[in-house]
Structure 1
Amino acid sequence: MGYQLTIGNLVPNILPHCAVGLLASFIHILRMSGSGYYDFPDSAKPRVEIGEILICWFTTGLLLAFFAFLLKVGVDYSRGAFVVFYFVAPAGLLVVRKGTKVALAAAVSRGVIGRRDIVLIGDLHEIAALEPRDLLVFFGTSEVSRFTLSSDDDLQKRESTDVNVINAAANFIRRNNCREVMLAMPWEDTGRLEFIREHVKTLPVAVRLLPDIRVRTLTNYASSARQRVLAIEIQRAPLSAAERFVKRVMDIVIAALALVFFLPIMALTAIAIKLDSPGPVIFRQFRKGFNGKQFMMFKFRTMTVQENGPAVMQATRDDPRVTSIGRLLRSASIDELPQLLNVLKGDMSLIGPRPHALAHDNYFETVLSEYAFRHHVKPGMTGWAQCNGARGGTPTIEHISERVKLDLWYINNWSLWLDVQIVIKTFFEVLRKRNAY
């Protein structure tokens, strides 16, 4: 419009020109997004990507000219207006990009935006060498929770301090539901890297090793805003954010429908328990959930005792502590129905490793190194182990070892279809009443 008014022409119909602008925007955004241009870490880098923007825009202009020639619509547009648009637009793109970076930097420094689910564990010198600019590049934030390892020369003292530091980091991760751990350590210190890796493997988080000082110097990682930062993934998170969302939606929908369907049965069960023996209808017991967090699990009371302490005796076949109505509830797995409330609360999932009493959990973790991996996902009302007959008591290490193998297979091979299969298998397993007592 400005061009036409300047040369003394009438203002043309603006809609076709808006269509050209939208097409140009679509082509430019599509091409730039493919290289990670709009990812938060790249947008937070201070340097404006002048070369990348100009090259992308000018090739976009050539594509527009090609489409105009191909569709024979070039005569409908002013060549002078197109040339003005062709050279004014990149200036606007550069100004907006710079303004975006300034605004992002200010927002990050105020803590308005930026990732807070990352924990940094590392060597004193490596962490000290990370500047605020590096934190923006690596994490998209100006500050992360840091846990510095020991700098003691004595190997035994250093390992002892490192264990305390890692335990403190693990507790912080569980309290704040962190999703990622970054390690900042010299790459040549392979012994210490393996030591740290062994101690963080029980955490259900992604663990990545950042480039150390030497590698960052060699790669000049900040020289290009489009360059991908080198970080080695040494542990993958058990489920991605999208997978966790899908699984949670499935839990809520099915648990809500099941609760409505089984409500009459649950009401009759509560009356029967109250008439059968003295005590509460619902049995409550602490269990470990996702990331080792404790939660209160609900069941219909089936015993005359309510153990929830450091010593809990597992139920055995023909256990005299089981009430007469409790024996029927346990054989039909009706005693597990109150856990639908745990699923809706988010403490449990429909499908996952079955949670054990804290006393048993703590013991199993000491005798089986892989046992803690079960806490990489939420515990379930039923699971792959239960569908394969591994239910009931675990009187020997061999029994719990077999159950752990099945649970870990489920975690490593999770899919929505697998959860559907387990739901179907559970129905037939309940009818078989195998190992149910």
Structure 2
Amino acid sequence: MDGWGTPSLDVSARLDRPLRRDAPLNKLIVCGSVLAGDALALAVAAKAAFWGRFIGENPPLEPYLMTFGGAALLLFLAFRRAGLYRFEVVASWPRWTGRLLAMVGAAAVLLIASLYLMKRGEDVSRVWLLTTFAGTAALMLLQRGLLALFVARRVQRGTFTRSVAVVGAGVQGRQFLEHLQTQGTLWKRVVGVFDDRRTRLEAARGTPFRGDLGVLEDDVRAGRIDEVIITLPWSARSRIVAIVNRLRDLPVDIYLGSDLIAYALPAHQPGLIAGVPTFHMVRVPLSGLRLAIKWFEDKVLAFLLLMLVSPVLLAIAVAIRIDSPGPILFRQKRYGFNNGPITVLKFRSMRHEGKGARFRQATRDDDRVTRIGRFLRQSSLDELPQLLNVLNGSMSLVGPRPHPVELNEQFAALIDGYNGRHRVKPGITGWAQVNGFRGETDTIEKMQARIEHDVWYIENWSLWLDLRILLMTVAKGLVHPHAY
């Protein structure tokens, strides 16, 4: 045990391990499995009770099927209301056994009362009904217990683990970590404490101390941290606002352990972490089911499009080879998800200047553009090789366009919130591009407008929005005046 009341962690070993970005999706699968298991438990219990009650008999099925449907609906609503499908509840079983039994009993009483009021009570055997609910409760307890054992084993292997950074080495930080330990929240692993003011470190004696906010940013960008918990006193209002604003452009969930400060930052959601009231200030835009949908969309559509346009790709490659000397493909380093470097592929549309050529943004009537290159750029056909980037996972079909490194660094220093566009993978096309913000960005106002559209897309993502952008890209891509 360390000075915080939490188990001592091998921080260096933990931080060297890659972050499990699939943890939210794994938790979603567990919760879905519980729901499916509950449905199966009800079905098995109802069928077994029916066989046992009506051996050798053939009663009408309609009232029993209707009663079964009512029981399923009532149990689902009761369990959902009671929070019994949350991952934290599933993983900490059997702590919630009493709540489950209470919800099953409440559903049974409501169903019996409903049958009585509808004057259908004589159509359904009371023995069957009570046996069904009793068997359902027993099977639900059994399947949840087995699932809790499975989750506990997987937690030890890091499958469901969320790596947590605590900001604030004062009394609030100590209290939070002590409570986290008493709750036995194994899937929340504290990788370290961060604080800019080293004068406060006396309270953190014996605790893994990682450093200031600069170190925290580096750890997040390196994929070592899932969640940031800010544990500062309420009186530090301006400091908390500054910390949230500094971290909100990073792909990490940010929670606030205080409550009064939340009024200064309205985009929050109240919640609990190990029983401690918190405010969820910033949410990772794509996680869980949304991330799975986006991944499936990218892989399937990119593969189909690549097959569809393969003759066009071959024709363009031949035309480039004939038109000017140099490679067919142009490779350029750009920043991708979480500011990580990626290599973006394009058909070469300019004269080949060799390695070490100085970066210059393309302009209208740029003398470096080849004959075939001008057509490719105006029609956006030079972007087609990026379908390979989508298939290898470095890009998406739709997302903020990746900027050249020099351009990225230039505007990141000038525009607040610029790096927020790196919270998702870059795209071949994006909301900014289909709304006219493409081509040369020779003023900060043009780039500001592009960033605003990128951020709006990230915060409002949906599958239908992606499909809309793809259709708009096809409609506008061949005639856009700013593509040069």
The TM-score normalised by the length of structure 2 is 0.70
Contact residue 287 and residue 357 of structure 1 kept, 8 A: yes
1:396 deviates by: 2.4
Tell me which residue corresponds to 2:228. Answer: 181
Tell me which residue corresponds to 1:123. Answer: 168
Cα 1:428–1:146 change in 2 (3 A) is same
Q: 1:148 aligns with which of 169, 174, 194?
A: 194
Q: Could you say which structure has the greater relative contact order, defined with CA pairs below 8 angstroms and 6 or more residues apart?
A: 2
Q: 2:443 aligns with which of 396, 402, 417?
A: 396
**Distance of 1:99 and 1:281 partners within structure 2:** 59
- More off after superposition, 311-320 vs 294-303: 311-320
Aligned pairs for 1:403-422 (under 5 A) are 403-422=450-469
* 1:357 and 2:383 matched: no
- Residue 431 of structure 1 aligns to a residue whose secondary structure is coil
- More off after superposition, 417-426 vs 267-276: 417-426
1:361 deviates by: 0.5
Contact residue 123 and residue 148 of structure 1 kept, 8 A: yes
Tell me which residue corresponds to 2:45. Answer: none
* 1:423 and 2:470 matched: yes
Cα 1:314–1:58 change in 2 (3 A) is closer
Contact residue 379 and residue 479 of structure 2 kept, 8 A: no
**Distance of 2:173 and 2:55 partners within structure 1:** 56
Q: 1:312 aligns with which of 359, 369, 372?
A: 359
Contact residue 166 and residue 228 of structure 2 kept, 8 A: yes
Cα 1:29–1:281 change in 2 (3 A) is same
**Distance of 2:179 and 2:332 partners within structure 1:** 48
Cα 1:195–1:316 change in 2 (3 A) is same
* 1:379 and 2:414 matched: no
* 1:231 and 2:285 matched: no
**Distance of 1:193 and 1:226 partners within structure 2:** 19
Contact residue 41 and residue 137 of structure 1 kept, 8 A: no
* 1:248 and 2:268 matched: no
**Equivalent residue pairs, number:** 404
- Any unmatched runs of 5+ in structure 1? 1-10, 155-161, 213-224
1:240 deviates by: 4.8
Contact residue 44 and residue 137 of structure 1 kept, 8 A: no
Cα 1:143–1:136 change in 2 (3 A) is farther
Contact residue 138 and residue 229 of structure 1 kept, 8 A: no
Offset from partner CA, 1:106-157 (integer Å, 9 cap, x none): 53773465333x4323212444334576258596615232342244239xxx
Q: Which amino acid aligns with 2:161?
A: R
Offset from partner CA, 1:229-283 (integer Å, 9 cap, x none): 5221222333453333333333233322221121111111111212222221111
Q: Which protein shows a greater Rg? A: 1
Cα 1:189–1:93 change in 2 (3 A) is farther
* 1:274 and 2:336 matched: no
Percent identity of the aligned residues?
Answer: 33
**Distance of 1:326 and 1:427 partners within structure 2:** 19
Q: Which amino acid aligns with 1:335?
A: D
Contact residue 45 and residue 136 of structure 1 kept, 8 A: no
Aligned pairs for 1:95-174 (under 5 A) are 103=149, 107=153, 110-111=156-157, 113-116=159-162, 118-125=163-170, 126-131=172-177, 134=180, 141=187, 143-153=189-199, 165-174=212-221
Q: Which amino acid aligns with 1:188?
A: S
Q: Which amino acid aligns with 1:367?
A: L
Q: Which amino acid aligns with 1:288?
A: Y
Cα 1:310–1:179 change in 2 (3 A) is farther
Contact residue 207 and residue 234 of structure 1 kept, 8 A: yes
Cα 1:132–1:112 change in 2 (3 A) is farther
- Residue 343 of structure 2 aligns to a residue whose secondary structure is strand
Offset from partner CA, 1:366-396 (integer Å, 9 cap, x none): 1111221221222121222222322222222
User: Aligned-residue CA RMSD in angstroms?
Assistant: 4.1
- Residue 281 of structure 2 aligns to a residue whose secondary structure is strand
Offset from partner CA, 1:6-61 (integer Å, 9 cap, x none): xxxxx865699xx8998898455652332112422234447834653453344344
